Amino acid sequence: MLTYAIRRILQTIPILFIISILLFFLVRSAPGGPLTSARRNPNVTKEQIEAIEEKLGLNDPLPVQYGRWIGDMFKGNLGQSIKFHRPVNDMIAERIPNTLTLVGASFFLTLLIAIPIGIFSARKPYSLFDYSMTTITFIGQSIPVYWLGLGLIVIFYVTLKNPWTDIPFFPVGGMNTRGKEGDILDTLWHLVLPVTALSLGWIAWYSRFLRSSMMDVLHEDYVRTAKAKGASSNSVYYKHALQNAILPLVTLIALDLPSLFAGALFVETIFSWPGMGRLFWDAAKGRDYPVLLGVVMITAVLIIFCNILADLAYGWLDPRVKYE
Amino acid sequence: MNEPIIQEQSMARVILRRFFKHKLAGIAIAVLALLMLASAFAFTTPYSPTDQEPTNSFQKTSMDHWFGTDELGRDVFTRILYGGRVSLTVGLLSTFLSIALGVLVGALSGYFGGWVDSVLMRTTDAFLTFPTIFVLIILGAFLREQQVPWLKNSVLIVIIIIAALSWMWPARLVRGLFIVLREREFVTACRALGGSSSRIIIQHILPNCIGPIVVSGTLQMASAIITESGLSYLGFGVQPPTPTWGSILATAQNQVFRAPWIAFYPGLMIFITVMAINYIGDGLRDAFDPYVIHAEK
């Protein structure tokens, strides 16, 4: 199992390389370059710009610059932000916990709601509950996350207000009210709308998936056997069937991780949530390429790591799986 | 002597008939057709999608301006119709491109197996684990700044980059189908008769994959439209002044306190379109399902 994990990691390294090369050359061959705004500034002399270029090594040929960048990255140094003059490492490290809080909370909520919906729909298929859930999930899957986020802002921040205090029901910017940094309750309050926006589509998708997965499993022989030997209906559904129906969900979640991060990027942008997505968006607007490349590489590594974890978890949950 | 009356029906007719039995899918086709027609005839509205009229900004919904006007006094309804042109075109073209690429990769990988399969599938897996949206944003931001004349067209860029990062799903699907079908008797028979690989792939196996490919095409198109709007919404997709549903939504966000209604319409259009495409996909899935067709006979 360990060799399997190692081989998976080794397989992804060449691909990471290729994509990093492509992105680096694309970003660095754009005309203007990172010092465009400095060049436009009348207070900065030509000599100063040349000095900065020399210092940052921007005059070297691109392959040399790439070599230096990738070499530094292996040493764990993602470089220096052009705009903020801070190490990219620090900037990303500050943001990772915030993104994980948002994604983690949404994920928890998603499973908490989607699993019961999936089970009940499969238990009484073609019932009123099942039909209404199918319709609702179809709607949930078709709503773009950015529109949902904006809609929540319009409803719960702009339109509806607490009639006594005239303060909006939910805050829509950042993680904390000013002066309440570190207050967990305050952060939870700030989490409500972003997590709702991020979760709805996922709840729809996973409950539909679990429903069909449960329906497949319910036709299996071992379910019939369990029923025949007189196991209670609850035990058949929750013990025998659910255990097997939930397995494919593990693989699906691993495959969906990139989309989950994509959703987080939109939500962070809309709600000014200080996570990696927001950092990336700001950096893309300011063409701050060390930050951009840093975030892409870190997210890629994070996703690959989670994927391997999911693979291993799958093997642990399902003894039938053997690693070649 | 009574000859039994056998009604001959082509496969296409059987599938079409089955498709329209799915009532919601039929409605969805009508809705999508209406949206396409409305976008095509966008020029019939009395307003321009781009000409500004600042004295006329932030009009509410009225007979003159069905969806009101935005901060520059442009008619939102007109802009949404023109935006529909871009969004639907991007959705359709990038879906065709990504399906074509996916079918090519999946067919080669599934049919030949061996090292071809392992190289292609490793690449596919790598693309699947990549945080696509981040790469799309980088491509969207920097491609149009390169000194290549045809890359100045932001619509073209968006079509290409969405296709380039979404072919993996059809590729995996087609590969799976090919692995099963290449072992079937009709393929062996064709090979025994001296049929070349390309003939087997194109004329014999591929037609049997049409159903699942079309269904996955609808999923691709729905997600392409959401991705395009999302990219344009973030400012890295189609560039202003060309209106798309995403960019209209982005300007609406900046005005959300003064004119919250503007944010409603472009999102609603994306939602309706995606929902219609999803229902069409659902109908096609039922229509192509061989078990259902069989049971009906």
Under CATH, which architecture does the B24-36+75-296 domain have? Orthogonal Bundle (1.10)
Nearest CA in chain A to B138: A284
Would you state the pLDDT for residue A1?
A: 63
Task: Kindly report the average pLDDT of chain A as a whole number.
Answer: 84
B131 chain-A contacts, CB cut-off 8 A: 258, 261-262, 296, 299-300, 303
pLDDT surpasses 50 at A169: yes
pLDDT at residue A322, rounded to an integer: 65
**Non-local CB neighbours of B95 within 8 Å, separated by 6+ positions:** B163, B217, B220, B221, B224
pLDDT, tens digit, 9 for 90 and up, residues B64-96? 767 777 776 677 888 888 889 999 999 999 999
CA A52, CA A35: separation in Å to the nearest integer?
A: 9
* pLDDT at residue A198 tops 60: yes
Nearest to B140 by CA among A33, A285, A9, A317: A285
Task: Look at residues B223, B125, B109 and name the one whose alpha carbon lies nearest to residue B177.
Answer: B109
* Interchain CB distance below 8 Å, A281 and B226: no
- Say yes or no for a CB contact (<8 Å) between B278 and A138: yes
Q: How many CB pairs under 8 A join A and B?
A: 125
Chain B residues with CB under 8 Å of A305 CB are none
Predicted local distance difference test score (pLDDT) of residue A33: 62
What is the average pLDDT score of chain B? Answer: 85
pLDDT value of position B295: 47
* Closest B-chain CA to A304: B129
Nearest chain A residue to B231 by CA distance is: A266
With an 8 Å Cβ cutoff, are B131 and A258 in contact? yes
- DSSP state letter for A207: H
Contact: B249, A265; criterion CB under 8 Å = no
Q: Enter the pTM of the model.
A: 0.87
Q: Do A296 and B274 touch (CB under 8 A)?
A: no
For chain B, the DSSP string reads ----------HHHHHHHHHHHSHHHHHHHHHHHHHHHHHHTGGGSSS-SS---GGGTTPPS-SSSTT-B-TT--BHHHHHHHHHHHHHHHHHHHHHHHHHHHHHHHHHHHHH-HHHHHHHHHHHHHHHHS-HHHHHHHHHHHGGGSS-GGGG-HHHHHHHHHHHTTTHHHHHHHHHHHHHHTTSHHHHHHHHTT--HHHIIIIIIGGGGHHHHHHHHHHHHHHHHHHHHHHHHHTSSSPTTS--HHHHHHHHHHTTTT-HHHHHHHHHHHHHHHHHHHHHHHHHHHHH-HHHHHHH-
Kindly list the residues from chain B whose CB atom is less than 8 angstroms away from the CB atom of residue A281.
137, 234
Q: Pick the residue from chain A with its C-alpha nearest to B222.
A: A142
B236/A284 Cβ within 8 A: yes
In this complex, is the C-beta atom of B253 within 8 Å of any C-beta atom belonging to chain A?
yes
Q: Which residues of B touch A266 (CB under 8 A)?
A: 230, 233-234
- CA dihedral defined by B63, B64, B67, B73, rounded to 10 degrees? -150
Instruction: Tell me what pLDDT residue B297 has.
Output: 40
- Bridge partner list, A161: A168
Query: Which of B250, B228, B141, B168 shows the shortest CA–CA distance to A282?
Result: B141
Flag if B122 and A31 touch (Cβ within 8 Å): no
Q: Which residues contact A59 (CB under 8 A, 6 or more apart)?
A: A53
User: What residues of chain A lie within 8 A of the CB of B245, using their CB?
Assistant: none
- Residue B120 at interface with chain A, using a CB cutoff of 8 Å: no
Rg of chain B, C-alpha, whole Å: 23
Query: Measured between alpha carbons, how far is B183 from B162 in angstroms, rounded to an integer?
Result: 34
Q: What ipTM describes this predicted complex?
A: 0.85
- Among the listed ranges A139-148, A237-246, A263-272, B50-59, which one has the minimum average pLDDT value? B50-59
**Residues in chain A closer than 8 A to B235 (CB atoms):** 285
Among B130, B226, B270, the residue with its CB nearest the CB of A258 is B130
Comparing CA positions, the residue from B162, B163, B145 lying closest to residue B230 is B162
Do B256 and A158 lie within an 8 Å CB cutoff? yes
B134 vs A142: CB contact, 8 Å cut-off? no
pLDDT tens-digit readout, A54-80: 777 777 788 888 888 888 888 888 888
Of B126, B234, B249, the CB nearest to A281: B234
Say how far apart CA A68 and CA A59 lie, in whole Å.
Answer: 13
pLDDT of B97-150, one tens digit each?
A: 999 999 999 999 999 989 999 889 888 887 887 788 888 998 888 888 777 777
List of chain B residues whose C-beta atoms are within 8 Å of the C-beta of residue A299:
131, 134
Contacting residues of B for A158, CB less than 8 Å apart: 256-257, 260
The Cα diameter of chain B in Å comes to 84
- Give residue B292's pLDDT band: very low, low, confident or very high (50, 70, 90): low
Q: Sketch the domain layout of chain B as residue ranges.
A: 24-36+75-296
Q: What are the tens digits of pLDDT across the range B182-235?
A: 889 999 999 999 989 999 999 999 988 988 999 999 999 999 999 999 999 998
